[in-house]
């Protein structure tokens, strides 16, 4: 291993997850793979071609830079949808490349039309409306205004989508709020259609909504976390699995993360290990040093809590997580040497370290742990 650690990505798991999602959604619902935040930490350049290989032809990102990275690593031109931040300077480029983007303000709509005219091309837009999340989206007044602008500029605009985002479909406590959002969405959709503006895709669902509220699937679903093999929340998983005879999780995690032992050391009983007084050796112990720390995404909140796998044994992280290193207790392992494989996430023999165990220990979301995995870590796709 040349680098401090390696992330492996399982092609077989991608295939399993995509076919499971397809079997649930049917042929009429298009899947947009959400690959923002470097494909949830998995790596855009590595994961996007694998998604494409298994039939995904629509990709969603947040930033323009991500859209360009997806654009550059696709084998064929596919739909790319930018849901977030796009500077005025980049709008022109986006239109030229055929990148679709959310429009959530009148200014952005006008800018898009201005550049589309200059280029003599159509800007492909998704009108995003405010339905109750109070994050981004056109309110009623802006929506009326947008309808008028659209009607006058149909030669420069393609209405690729009409969308909103639901405020927390992964928890039943948000049920009422989401029902209200859907009512509002449908009212505004009717208003759009009365004006002869027919969006190509109506879409509101992320992973959780697509499972908990099947009526939200509409024409397209924006699926992030489930493609990577995780349920949005335990609640969503329980709701799904309760209705199945077979209680096996149909999703497979794609990502594994491993490193190696950098050095081994004996520590005497009564000594502190690492910075400060965070860990006191209660016995004579043997420790191993691993060259990963919070700078590559191994959260500091795993100090004295994290677990890794070495030679088929679970070992505890002792002391604080450093910027580039962790120390683990290997006293219980008989034969062990520098260079031995260390599993940070994934399987070794019969044991497994799951991202969820990680997040339970550190009180972070799966999403958060994944998104923090540094882009500097080498990523490789493996077949199985
Ligand atoms: C991130 C995101 C999604 C995907 O959410 P998952 O829970 O990962 O499926 C969908 N829509 C929007 C607008 C998003 O920002």
Distance CA 160, CA 95 (A): 13
**Domain match, 35 and 177 both:** yes
In short, whether 222's Cβ falls inside 6 Å of ligand 1 is yes
Over range 340-360, report the average pLDDT. Answer: 91
Asked if residue 327 and residue 203 are part of one domain, the reply reads no
Q: Which of 218, 241, 264 is the last residue of a domain?
A: 241
Task: Give every strand in the sheet of 123-128, ordered side by side.
Answer: 201-203, 157-163, 123-128, 100-103, 79-82, 58-61, 30-34, 220-223
Atom of ligand 1 nearest to the CA of 208: 7
In sequence order, what are the residues at sequence separation of 6 or more whose Cβ sits closer than 8 angstroms to the Cβ of residue 31? 18, 21, 22, 25, 56, 58, 220, 221, 223
Which pTM does this prediction carry? 0.95
For residue 223, how far is its CA from the centre of ligand 1 (angstroms)? 6
Note the pLDDT of residue 359.
76
Q: What percent of the chain has pLDDT over 70?
A: 100
Which of 77, 38, 39 lies closest to 58 in space, CA to CA? 77
CB of 138 closer than 8 Å to CB of 164: no
Cα of 208 to ligand 1 centre, how many Å? 9
Ligand 1 atom closest to the Cα of residue 367 is 8
User: Domain holding 102: CATH number?
Assistant: 3.20.20.10
Q: Which residue has the tokens 């397209």?
A: 220
Residue 316 is assigned to a structural domain of this protein: yes
Percentage of residues in the chain with pLDDT exceeding 90? Answer: 94
Quick check: is 49 in a domain?
yes
Give the N- to C-terminal CA distance of the chain in Å, as an integer: 20
Same domain? For 170 and 304 the reply is no
Is the CB–ligand 1 distance for residue 362 below 6 Å? no
Assigned domain for 139 exists: yes
CA-wise closest residue to 163 among 210, 205, 209: 205
What distance in angstroms lies between residue 133's CA and the mean position of ligand 1's atoms?
A: 13
Domain region containing 333: 255-353
Look at residue 362 in the predicted model and tell me its pLDDT.
73
What digits encode the pLDDT tens for the residues 199-241? 999 999 999 999 999 999 999 999 999 999 999 999 999 999 9
Q: Is the pLDDT of residue 121 over 90?
A: yes
State the CATH number of the domain containing residue 264: 2.40.37.10
Which pLDDT score is estimated for 363?
72
Q: Are residues 43 and 155 in the same domain?
A: yes
pLDDT band at 3; cut points 50, 70, 90: confident
What is the per-residue pLDDT for 365?
Answer: 83
> Are 169 and 293 in a shared domain?
no
User: Is residue 111 within 8 Å of 91, Cβ to Cβ?
Assistant: yes
List C-alpha distances in Å: 212 to 29, 242, 315: 16, 13, 38
Q: Which two three-digit tokens encode residue 353?
A: 């370290």
Q: Are residues 219 and 317 in the same domain?
A: no
pLDDT of residue 17: 98
Q: Is residue 103 part of a domain?
A: yes
What is the bridge-based pairing of β-strands 157-163 and 123-128?
A: parallel
366 pocket-lining for ligand 1 (C-beta < 6 Å) = no
Instruction: Round the CA-based radius of gyration of the chain to a whole number and report it.
Output: 24
Q: With 80 as the cut, is the pLDDT of residue 347 above it?
A: yes
Chain segment 58-116, per-residue pLDDT in tens: 999 999 999 999 999 999 999 999 999 999 999 999 999 999 999 999 999 999 999 99
Regarding whether 225 and 320 lie in a shared domain, the answer is: no
Cβ of 83 closer than 6 Å to ligand 1, yes or no, is yes
C-alpha 222 – ligand 1 centre gap (Å): 6
Whether residue 384 lies inside any domain: the answer is no
Q: Quick check: is 169 in a domain? A: yes
Tell me which of 241, 269, 298 is where a domain ends.
Answer: 241
Ligand 1 mutation pick, 34, 39, 217, max ligand atoms within 8 A of CB = 34
202 with 299, same domain: the answer is no
Q: Is 207 in the pocket of ligand 1 (CB under 6 A)?
A: yes
Q: Check if 112 has its Cβ closer than 6 Å to any atom of ligand 1.
A: no
| Burial class of residue 371 in the structure, from the number of CB atoms within 10 Å of its CB (0-12 exposed, 13-18 middle, 19+ buried) | middle
Cβ contact 380:46 at 8 Å: yes
Q: Is the CB of 369 under 6 A from ligand 1?
A: no
Residue nearest to atom 14 of ligand 1 (CA): 206
pLDDT digits (tens, 9 = 90+) for 262-279: 999 999 999 999 999 999
Count of the separate structural domains present in the chain: 2
Average pLDDT of the residues of the chain:
96
pLDDT at 137: 96
Q: Would you say residue 150 has pLDDT above 90?
A: yes
| Residue 3 belongs to a domain | no
One domain, residues 227 and 305: no
């Amino acid at each position: 291993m040349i680098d401090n650690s390696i992330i492996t990505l399982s092609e077989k798991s991608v295939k399993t997850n995509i076919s499971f999602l397809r079997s649930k959604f049917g042929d009429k619902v298009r899947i947009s793979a959400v690959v923002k935040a470097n494909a949830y930490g998995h790596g855009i350049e590595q994961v996007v071609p694998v998604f494409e290989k298994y039939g995904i032809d629509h990709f969603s990102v947040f930033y323009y830079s991500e859209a360009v990275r997806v654009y550059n690593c696709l084998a064929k031109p596919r739909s790319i949808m930018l849901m977030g931040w796009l500077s005025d300077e980049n709008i022109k480029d986006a239109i030229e490349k055929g990148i679709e983007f959310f429009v959530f303000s009148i200014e952005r709509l006008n800018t898009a039309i201005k550049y589309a005219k200059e280029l003599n091309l159509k800007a492909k837009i998704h009108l995003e409306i405010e339905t109750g999340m109070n994050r981004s989206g056109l309110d009623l007044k802006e929506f009326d205004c947008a309808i008028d602008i659209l009607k006058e500029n149909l030669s420069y605009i393609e209405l690729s989508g009409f969308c909103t985002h639901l405020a927390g479909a992964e928890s039943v406590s948000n049920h009422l709020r989401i029902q209200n959002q859907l009512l509002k969405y449908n009212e505004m959709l009717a208003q759009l259609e009365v004006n002869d503006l027919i969006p190509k895709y109506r879409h509101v669902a992320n992973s959780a909504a697509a499972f908990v509220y099947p009526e939200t699937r509409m024409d397209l679903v924006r699926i992030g976390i489930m493609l990577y093999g995780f349920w949005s929340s335990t609640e969503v998983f329980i709701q799904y699995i309760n209705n199945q005879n077979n209680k096996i999780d149909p999703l497979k995690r794609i990502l594994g993360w491993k490193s190696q032992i950098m050095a081994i050391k004996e520590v005497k009983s009564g000594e502190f290990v690492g910075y400060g007084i965070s860990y006191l050796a209660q016995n004579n112990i043997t420790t191993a040093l691993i060259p990963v720390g919070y700078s590559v995404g191994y959260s500091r909140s795993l100090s004295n809590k994290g677990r890794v796998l070495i030679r088929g044994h679970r070992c505890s992280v002792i002391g604080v997580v450093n910027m580039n290193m962790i120390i683990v207790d290997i006293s219980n392992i008989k034969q062990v040497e520098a260079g031995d494989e260390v599993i940070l996430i994934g399987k070794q023999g019969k044991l497994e370290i799951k991202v969820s165990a990680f997040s339970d220990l550190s009180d972070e979301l799966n999403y958060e742990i994944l998104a923090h995995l540094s882009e500097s870590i080498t990523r490789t796709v493996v077949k199985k």
